[in-house]
Structure 1
Amino acid sequence: MSAIIDGTLFATTFLTLFVIMDPPGTVPVFLALTSTMTAKQRAKAALQAVSVAFGVIVAFMLFGQHLMSFLNISVPALQASGGLLLLLVALDLLTGKAEEPSPSGKVNVALVPLGTPLLAGPGAIVAAMLAVQRSEGSLPEWVAIVAAIVGVHLCLFLAMRFAGIIHRVLGEGGTILVTRIAGLLLAAIAVQLIADAVRAFILAG
Protein backbone atom coordinates (compact mmCIF):
# COMPACT_ATOMS: atom_id res chain seq x y z
CA MET A 1 0.00 0.00 0.00
CA SER A 2 2.91 2.33 0.73
CA ALA A 3 3.96 2.08 -2.92
CA ILE A 4 0.60 3.46 -4.02
CA ILE A 5 -0.07 6.23 -1.51
CA ASP A 6 1.97 8.15 1.05
CA GLY A 7 -0.03 7.53 4.23
CA THR A 8 1.65 10.23 6.30
CA LEU A 9 1.15 12.93 3.68
CA PHE A 10 -2.45 11.82 3.19
CA ALA A 11 -3.17 12.04 6.92
CA THR A 12 -1.54 15.45 7.42
CA THR A 13 -3.13 16.96 4.29
CA PHE A 14 -6.56 15.53 5.08
CA LEU A 15 -6.54 16.66 8.71
CA THR A 16 -5.25 20.13 7.82
CA LEU A 17 -7.90 20.68 5.13
CA PHE A 18 -10.60 19.12 7.30
CA VAL A 19 -9.84 21.50 10.15
CA ILE A 20 -9.67 24.52 7.82
CA MET A 21 -12.78 23.74 5.76
CA ASP A 22 -14.60 22.45 8.86
CA PRO A 23 -17.46 20.27 7.48
CA PRO A 24 -19.46 20.29 10.77
CA GLY A 25 -19.07 24.06 10.98
CA THR A 26 -20.58 24.53 7.52
CA VAL A 27 -23.87 23.02 8.67
CA PRO A 28 -25.41 26.12 10.33
CA VAL A 29 -24.13 28.41 7.54
CA PHE A 30 -25.50 26.09 4.86
CA LEU A 31 -28.86 25.88 6.60
CA ALA A 32 -29.04 29.68 6.85
CA LEU A 33 -28.16 30.24 3.21
CA THR A 34 -30.59 27.60 1.94
CA SER A 35 -33.44 28.31 4.35
CA THR A 36 -35.90 29.03 1.53
CA MET A 37 -34.94 25.97 -0.56
CA THR A 38 -36.65 22.62 -0.79
CA ALA A 39 -34.84 19.40 0.13
CA LYS A 40 -34.12 18.71 -3.55
CA GLN A 41 -32.76 22.21 -4.09
CA ARG A 42 -30.56 21.88 -1.01
CA ALA A 43 -29.08 18.64 -2.32
CA LYS A 44 -28.31 20.34 -5.65
CA ALA A 45 -26.80 23.35 -3.88
CA ALA A 46 -24.57 21.07 -1.78
CA LEU A 47 -23.24 19.35 -4.91
CA GLN A 48 -22.65 22.66 -6.70
CA ALA A 49 -20.84 24.21 -3.73
CA VAL A 50 -18.51 21.23 -3.30
CA SER A 51 -17.83 21.08 -7.06
CA VAL A 52 -16.86 24.75 -7.15
CA ALA A 53 -14.63 24.44 -4.08
CA PHE A 54 -12.95 21.32 -5.48
CA GLY A 55 -12.27 23.01 -8.82
CA VAL A 56 -10.75 26.10 -7.21
CA ILE A 57 -8.47 24.14 -4.87
CA VAL A 58 -7.30 21.73 -7.59
CA ALA A 59 -6.55 24.66 -9.92
CA PHE A 60 -4.34 26.30 -7.30
CA MET A 61 -2.78 22.95 -6.41
CA LEU A 62 -1.75 22.40 -10.05
CA PHE A 63 -0.83 25.93 -11.08
CA GLY A 64 -0.05 27.63 -7.78
CA GLN A 65 3.64 26.72 -7.98
CA HIS A 66 3.97 28.31 -11.42
CA LEU A 67 2.28 31.43 -10.11
CA MET A 68 4.74 31.55 -7.21
CA SER A 69 7.68 31.23 -9.59
CA PHE A 70 6.30 34.01 -11.77
CA LEU A 71 5.88 36.30 -8.75
CA ASN A 72 9.22 35.17 -7.26
CA ILE A 73 7.68 33.99 -3.99
CA SER A 74 9.66 31.51 -1.89
CA VAL A 75 8.22 28.52 -0.03
CA PRO A 76 9.15 29.93 3.43
CA ALA A 77 7.39 33.19 2.52
CA LEU A 78 4.30 31.22 1.53
CA GLN A 79 4.50 29.21 4.76
CA ALA A 80 4.79 32.34 6.90
CA SER A 81 1.95 34.19 5.17
CA GLY A 82 -0.16 31.04 5.16
CA GLY A 83 0.51 30.51 8.86
CA LEU A 84 -0.52 34.08 9.70
CA LEU A 85 -3.63 33.73 7.58
CA LEU A 86 -4.59 30.43 9.19
CA LEU A 87 -3.99 31.95 12.62
CA LEU A 88 -6.50 34.70 11.86
CA VAL A 89 -9.03 32.09 10.74
CA ALA A 90 -8.36 30.08 13.90
CA LEU A 91 -8.93 33.14 16.09
CA ASP A 92 -12.26 33.75 14.36
CA LEU A 93 -13.28 30.15 15.06
CA LEU A 94 -12.15 30.33 18.69
CA THR A 95 -13.86 33.65 19.41
CA GLY A 96 -16.96 33.00 17.31
CA LYS A 97 -16.41 36.16 15.25
CA ALA A 98 -16.51 34.43 11.86
CA GLU A 99 -19.00 36.21 9.65
CA GLU A 100 -22.06 34.30 8.55
CA PRO A 101 -23.45 35.67 5.27
CA SER A 102 -27.18 36.02 4.79
CA PRO A 103 -29.09 34.39 1.93
CA SER A 104 -29.79 36.41 -1.20
CA GLY A 105 -32.02 35.62 -4.10
CA LYS A 106 -29.90 37.56 -6.59
CA VAL A 107 -27.02 35.08 -6.78
CA ASN A 108 -26.57 31.34 -6.60
CA VAL A 109 -25.46 30.90 -2.98
CA ALA A 110 -23.99 27.49 -3.86
CA LEU A 111 -21.36 29.26 -5.98
CA VAL A 112 -20.87 32.44 -3.93
CA PRO A 113 -20.40 32.55 -0.99
CA LEU A 114 -20.64 28.80 -0.27
CA GLY A 115 -18.32 27.35 -2.93
CA THR A 116 -15.95 30.25 -2.58
CA PRO A 117 -14.81 31.87 -0.34
CA LEU A 118 -16.44 29.90 2.52
CA LEU A 119 -15.26 26.45 1.42
CA ALA A 120 -12.41 27.19 -0.99
CA GLY A 121 -11.08 30.13 0.98
CA PRO A 122 -7.53 31.47 1.23
CA GLY A 123 -6.68 29.09 4.07
CA ALA A 124 -7.67 25.95 2.16
CA ILE A 125 -5.92 27.18 -0.99
CA VAL A 126 -2.68 27.88 0.89
CA ALA A 127 -2.85 24.50 2.63
CA ALA A 128 -3.25 22.66 -0.69
CA MET A 129 -0.36 24.58 -2.25
CA LEU A 130 1.87 23.92 0.75
CA ALA A 131 1.12 20.19 0.56
CA VAL A 132 2.37 20.18 -3.03
CA GLN A 133 5.40 22.31 -2.13
CA ARG A 134 6.39 19.93 0.68
CA SER A 135 6.13 16.83 -1.50
CA GLU A 136 8.88 15.62 -3.81
CA GLY A 137 6.54 15.07 -6.73
CA SER A 138 6.43 11.27 -6.55
CA LEU A 139 3.32 9.34 -7.59
CA PRO A 140 2.45 8.13 -4.03
CA GLU A 141 2.62 11.72 -2.79
CA TRP A 142 0.39 13.03 -5.60
CA VAL A 143 -2.09 10.22 -4.94
CA ALA A 144 -2.05 11.08 -1.23
CA ILE A 145 -2.72 14.80 -1.85
CA VAL A 146 -5.51 14.18 -4.37
CA ALA A 147 -7.09 11.50 -2.15
CA ALA A 148 -7.00 13.86 0.85
CA ILE A 149 -8.65 16.68 -1.13
CA VAL A 150 -11.32 14.32 -2.48
CA GLY A 151 -11.91 12.89 1.00
CA VAL A 152 -12.40 16.29 2.60
CA HIS A 153 -14.78 17.39 -0.15
CA LEU A 154 -16.75 14.18 0.28
CA CYS A 155 -17.08 14.99 4.00
CA LEU A 156 -18.23 18.51 3.07
CA PHE A 157 -20.87 17.16 0.69
CA LEU A 158 -22.18 14.68 3.25
CA ALA A 159 -22.27 17.37 5.95
CA MET A 160 -24.30 19.72 3.76
CA ARG A 161 -26.43 16.97 2.23
CA PHE A 162 -27.52 15.82 5.69
CA ALA A 163 -27.21 19.25 7.35
CA GLY A 164 -30.66 19.10 8.90
CA ILE A 165 -30.02 15.76 10.59
CA ILE A 166 -26.50 16.71 11.78
CA HIS A 167 -27.73 19.99 13.26
CA ARG A 168 -30.49 18.19 15.17
CA VAL A 169 -28.03 15.60 16.51
CA LEU A 170 -25.27 18.01 17.54
CA GLY A 171 -27.54 20.81 18.63
CA GLU A 172 -26.42 24.43 18.86
CA GLY A 173 -23.98 23.70 21.68
CA GLY A 174 -22.45 20.72 19.92
CA THR A 175 -21.88 22.68 16.73
CA ILE A 176 -20.17 25.48 18.66
CA LEU A 177 -17.99 22.96 20.54
CA VAL A 178 -16.83 21.35 17.27
CA THR A 179 -16.04 24.79 15.85
CA ARG A 180 -13.96 25.74 18.91
CA ILE A 181 -11.97 22.48 18.79
CA ALA A 182 -11.34 23.03 15.08
CA GLY A 183 -10.08 26.54 15.86
CA LEU A 184 -7.65 25.23 18.49
CA LEU A 185 -6.21 22.62 16.12
CA LEU A 186 -5.97 25.16 13.31
CA ALA A 187 -4.09 27.59 15.58
CA ALA A 188 -1.53 24.87 16.37
CA ILE A 189 -1.09 24.14 12.65
CA ALA A 190 -0.64 27.85 11.95
CA VAL A 191 2.03 28.28 14.64
CA GLN A 192 3.90 25.24 13.29
CA LEU A 193 3.87 26.71 9.76
CA ILE A 194 5.27 30.01 11.03
CA ALA A 195 7.95 28.23 13.07
CA ASP A 196 9.00 26.16 10.04
CA ALA A 197 9.17 29.33 7.93
CA VAL A 198 11.32 31.16 10.49
CA ARG A 199 13.67 28.17 10.72
CA ALA A 200 13.96 28.06 6.93
CA PHE A 201 14.72 31.80 6.75
CA ILE A 202 17.42 31.44 9.44
CA LEU A 203 19.06 28.47 7.69
CA ALA A 204 18.91 30.26 4.32
CA GLY A 205 20.54 33.35 5.84
Structure 2
Amino acid sequence: MIDLAATFITFFAVVDPIGTVPVFIAVTAQFEDSVRRRIALTATLAAAGILLFFVVAGELILTAMSIPLPAFQIAGGIVLFIFALQMIFGDSKPDEEIRLVNKQQETAIFPLAVPSIASPGAMLAAVLLTENSKFSLAEQAQTFLVLLAVLLVAYVLMLLSGAINRMIGRSGASVVSRVMGLILSSIAVANFLAGIELYFGISH
Protein backbone atom coordinates (compact mmCIF):
# COMPACT_ATOMS: atom_id res chain seq x y z
CA MET A 1 0.00 0.00 0.00
CA ILE A 2 1.46 3.33 -1.04
CA ASP A 3 1.42 6.45 1.11
CA LEU A 4 -1.63 8.04 -0.46
CA ALA A 5 -1.23 11.42 1.25
CA ALA A 6 2.46 11.81 0.33
CA THR A 7 1.80 10.72 -3.26
CA PHE A 8 -1.12 13.13 -3.58
CA ILE A 9 0.96 16.03 -2.23
CA THR A 10 3.82 15.20 -4.60
CA PHE A 11 1.57 15.19 -7.66
CA PHE A 12 -0.32 18.25 -6.45
CA ALA A 13 2.98 20.14 -6.18
CA VAL A 14 4.24 19.19 -9.65
CA VAL A 15 0.90 19.53 -11.46
CA ASP A 16 -0.04 22.69 -9.51
CA PRO A 17 -3.79 22.75 -10.32
CA ILE A 18 -4.24 26.19 -8.75
CA GLY A 19 -1.48 27.68 -10.88
CA THR A 20 -3.22 26.26 -13.95
CA VAL A 21 -6.32 28.39 -13.32
CA PRO A 22 -4.97 31.75 -14.62
CA VAL A 23 -3.40 29.93 -17.58
CA PHE A 24 -6.79 28.42 -18.41
CA ILE A 25 -8.48 31.81 -18.08
CA ALA A 26 -5.97 33.37 -20.48
CA VAL A 27 -6.30 30.50 -22.99
CA THR A 28 -10.10 30.52 -23.02
CA ALA A 29 -10.88 34.21 -22.51
CA GLN A 30 -12.55 34.61 -25.92
CA PHE A 31 -14.63 31.41 -25.81
CA GLU A 32 -18.16 30.73 -24.63
CA ASP A 33 -18.74 28.67 -21.49
CA SER A 34 -19.62 25.49 -23.42
CA VAL A 35 -16.39 25.70 -25.41
CA ARG A 36 -14.40 26.42 -22.24
CA ARG A 37 -15.77 23.25 -20.66
CA ARG A 38 -14.77 21.21 -23.72
CA ILE A 39 -11.27 22.72 -23.66
CA ALA A 40 -10.91 21.89 -19.96
CA LEU A 41 -11.96 18.27 -20.58
CA THR A 42 -9.70 17.89 -23.62
CA ALA A 43 -6.71 19.32 -21.77
CA THR A 44 -7.27 17.07 -18.76
CA LEU A 45 -7.66 13.92 -20.86
CA ALA A 46 -4.59 14.78 -22.92
CA ALA A 47 -2.51 15.36 -19.77
CA ALA A 48 -3.76 12.06 -18.31
CA GLY A 49 -2.76 10.20 -21.48
CA ILE A 50 0.70 11.76 -21.51
CA LEU A 51 1.35 10.97 -17.86
CA LEU A 52 -0.01 7.43 -18.26
CA PHE A 53 2.56 6.94 -21.02
CA PHE A 54 5.33 7.89 -18.59
CA VAL A 55 3.89 5.61 -15.89
CA VAL A 56 3.78 2.63 -18.29
CA ALA A 57 6.74 3.20 -20.59
CA GLY A 58 9.04 5.63 -18.83
CA GLU A 59 11.10 3.02 -16.99
CA LEU A 60 11.05 0.65 -20.00
CA ILE A 61 12.60 3.36 -22.15
CA LEU A 62 15.29 3.94 -19.54
CA THR A 63 16.01 0.20 -19.40
CA ALA A 64 16.24 -0.01 -23.19
CA MET A 65 18.79 2.80 -23.09
CA SER A 66 20.73 1.07 -20.27
CA ILE A 67 20.10 3.95 -17.89
CA PRO A 68 19.75 2.67 -14.29
CA LEU A 69 16.73 4.06 -12.48
CA PRO A 70 18.82 5.40 -9.56
CA ALA A 71 20.76 7.55 -12.06
CA PHE A 72 17.48 8.82 -13.48
CA GLN A 73 16.24 9.42 -9.93
CA ILE A 74 19.34 11.51 -9.16
CA ALA A 75 18.95 13.46 -12.41
CA GLY A 76 15.22 13.77 -11.81
CA GLY A 77 15.83 15.12 -8.33
CA ILE A 78 18.20 17.75 -9.72
CA VAL A 79 15.75 18.75 -12.46
CA LEU A 80 12.84 18.86 -10.01
CA PHE A 81 14.92 21.02 -7.67
CA ILE A 82 15.76 23.47 -10.47
CA PHE A 83 12.09 23.45 -11.48
CA ALA A 84 11.15 24.19 -7.86
CA LEU A 85 13.67 27.04 -7.62
CA GLN A 86 12.15 28.58 -10.75
CA MET A 87 8.73 28.35 -9.14
CA ILE A 88 10.04 30.05 -5.97
CA PHE A 89 12.43 32.71 -7.28
CA GLY A 90 11.59 33.11 -10.97
CA ASP A 91 8.37 33.90 -12.73
CA SER A 92 5.50 32.05 -11.15
CA LYS A 93 3.79 29.33 -13.16
CA PRO A 94 0.85 31.59 -14.14
CA ASP A 95 3.08 34.46 -15.28
CA GLU A 96 5.44 32.21 -17.24
CA GLU A 97 2.77 30.21 -19.04
CA ILE A 98 0.48 33.16 -19.77
CA ARG A 99 3.37 34.54 -21.83
CA LEU A 100 3.30 31.29 -23.83
CA VAL A 101 -0.37 31.91 -24.54
CA ASN A 102 0.46 35.29 -25.98
CA LYS A 103 3.06 33.82 -28.33
CA GLN A 104 1.42 30.59 -29.53
CA GLN A 105 -1.82 29.32 -30.98
CA GLU A 106 -4.35 29.08 -28.20
CA THR A 107 -5.22 25.40 -27.93
CA ALA A 108 -6.18 22.91 -25.24
CA ILE A 109 -2.96 20.98 -25.84
CA PHE A 110 -0.40 23.79 -25.63
CA PRO A 111 0.21 25.42 -23.26
CA LEU A 112 -2.68 24.06 -21.18
CA ALA A 113 -2.22 20.26 -21.28
CA VAL A 114 1.54 20.62 -21.82
CA PRO A 115 3.41 22.11 -20.03
CA SER A 116 0.83 23.51 -17.59
CA ILE A 117 -0.87 20.31 -16.37
CA ALA A 118 1.47 17.56 -17.60
CA SER A 119 4.54 19.52 -16.59
CA PRO A 120 8.11 18.19 -16.86
CA GLY A 121 8.06 17.75 -13.08
CA ALA A 122 4.88 15.67 -13.32
CA MET A 123 6.41 13.44 -15.99
CA LEU A 124 9.48 12.81 -13.83
CA ALA A 125 7.37 12.16 -10.75
CA ALA A 126 5.22 9.69 -12.70
CA VAL A 127 8.32 7.62 -13.48
CA LEU A 128 9.92 7.87 -10.04
CA LEU A 129 6.77 6.96 -8.12
CA THR A 130 6.05 3.85 -10.23
CA GLU A 131 9.45 2.15 -10.11
CA ASN A 132 8.94 -1.48 -11.12
CA SER A 133 11.47 -2.93 -8.68
CA LYS A 134 10.02 -0.99 -5.76
CA PHE A 135 6.26 -0.98 -6.39
CA SER A 136 3.91 -3.79 -7.36
CA LEU A 137 1.46 -3.43 -10.23
CA ALA A 138 -1.32 -2.84 -7.72
CA GLU A 139 0.69 -0.06 -6.06
CA GLN A 140 1.52 1.49 -9.43
CA ALA A 141 -2.20 1.42 -10.27
CA GLN A 142 -2.91 3.15 -6.94
CA THR A 143 -0.32 5.80 -7.78
CA PHE A 144 -1.94 6.46 -11.14
CA LEU A 145 -5.36 6.69 -9.50
CA VAL A 146 -3.95 9.30 -7.11
CA LEU A 147 -2.57 11.15 -10.14
CA LEU A 148 -6.01 11.00 -11.76
CA ALA A 149 -7.48 12.46 -8.56
CA VAL A 150 -5.09 15.43 -8.84
CA LEU A 151 -6.00 15.85 -12.50
CA LEU A 152 -9.68 15.76 -11.50
CA VAL A 153 -8.97 18.58 -9.04
CA ALA A 154 -7.31 20.53 -11.88
CA TYR A 155 -10.34 19.90 -14.11
CA VAL A 156 -12.81 21.05 -11.46
CA LEU A 157 -10.74 24.16 -10.73
CA MET A 158 -10.71 24.99 -14.43
CA LEU A 159 -14.50 24.70 -14.51
CA LEU A 160 -14.62 27.02 -11.48
CA SER A 161 -11.89 29.27 -12.84
CA GLY A 162 -14.04 32.37 -13.09
CA ALA A 163 -15.06 32.33 -9.43
CA ILE A 164 -11.55 31.33 -8.26
CA ASN A 165 -9.93 34.11 -10.25
CA ARG A 166 -12.26 36.65 -8.66
CA MET A 167 -11.43 35.31 -5.19
CA ILE A 168 -7.62 34.99 -5.26
CA GLY A 169 -6.59 36.79 -8.47
CA ARG A 170 -3.28 36.24 -10.27
CA SER A 171 -1.38 37.40 -7.18
CA GLY A 172 -2.98 34.70 -5.05
CA ALA A 173 -2.26 32.04 -7.66
CA SER A 174 1.35 33.24 -7.77
CA VAL A 175 1.68 32.87 -3.99
CA VAL A 176 0.26 29.33 -4.09
CA SER A 177 2.60 28.42 -6.93
CA ARG A 178 5.63 29.56 -4.90
CA VAL A 179 4.49 27.59 -1.85
CA MET A 180 4.14 24.52 -4.08
CA GLY A 181 7.68 25.22 -5.29
CA LEU A 182 8.98 25.11 -1.72
CA ILE A 183 7.26 21.76 -1.11
CA LEU A 184 8.57 20.45 -4.42
CA SER A 185 12.14 21.43 -3.53
CA SER A 186 11.96 19.25 -0.42
CA ILE A 187 10.61 16.34 -2.49
CA ALA A 188 13.40 16.86 -5.05
CA VAL A 189 16.12 16.71 -2.39
CA ALA A 190 14.58 13.52 -0.97
CA ASN A 191 14.58 11.94 -4.46
CA PHE A 192 18.19 12.99 -5.03
CA LEU A 193 19.37 11.50 -1.73
CA ALA A 194 17.39 8.30 -2.32
CA GLY A 195 18.98 7.97 -5.76
CA ILE A 196 22.46 8.44 -4.30
CA GLU A 197 21.73 5.80 -1.68
CA LEU A 198 20.49 3.29 -4.27
CA TYR A 199 23.22 3.97 -6.82
CA PHE A 200 26.12 3.62 -4.38
CA GLY A 201 24.48 1.00 -2.18
CA ILE A 202 24.66 3.14 0.94
CA SER A 203 23.01 1.54 3.93
CA HIS A 204 21.89 3.22 7.14
Q: 1:7 to 1:77 in 2, by over 3 A?
A: closer
The amino acid across from 1:36 in the alignment is Q
Matches within 5 A, 1:18-167: 18-97=12-91, 98=93, 99-100=96-97, 101-103=100-102, 107=105, 109-133=107-131, 135-139=134-138, 141-167=139-165
8 Å contact from structure 2 (residues 59, 69) kept in 1: no
One-letter amino acid of the counterpart of residue 75, structure 2: S
Equivalent-residue separation in structure 2 for 1:81 and 1:103 (angstroms): 32
Which amino acid counterpart does residue 14 of structure 2 have in structure 1? Answer: I
CA distance in 2, matches of 1:162, 1:130: 31
Stretches of structure 1 that go unaligned for 5 or more consecutive residues are: 1-5
In structure 2, the partner of 1:197 is: 195
CA offset at residue 58 of structure 1?
A: 0.4
TM-score (norm 2): 0.88
State the secondary structure of the residue aligned to 2:162: helix
Match of 1:177 in 2: 175
Question: Does the 8 Å contact 1:13/1:128 carry over to 2?
Answer: no
**CA shift at 1:50, angstroms?**
0.5
The runs of 4+ residues in structure 1 deviating greater than 3 Å are none
Task: Provide closer, same or farther for how the CA distance between residues 26 and 199 of structure 1 changes in structure 2, counting only shifts above 3 A.
Answer: same
In structure 1, distance between residues paired with 2:30 and 2:137: 47
Contact 2:73 2:192 in 1 (8 A): yes
- Paired amino acid for 1:181: V
Structure 1: how far apart are the matches of 2:140 and 2:112? 27
Counterpart-to-counterpart distance in 2, 1:142 and 1:203 = 24
SS in 2 for 1:109: coil
Q: Which whole-Å deviations, capped at 9, do the CAs of 1:80-129 have from their partners, x for residues lacking one?
A: 1111111121112112425221246x745201221122211221111011
Kept in 2, the 8 Å contact 1:103–1:109? The answer is no
- C-alpha contact (below 8 Å) 2:27/2:106 kept by paired residues: no
- Name structure 2 gaps, 5 residues minimum: none
Q: How far apart in 1 are the matches of 2:164 and 2:45?
A: 21
- Letter aligned with residue 161 of structure 1: L
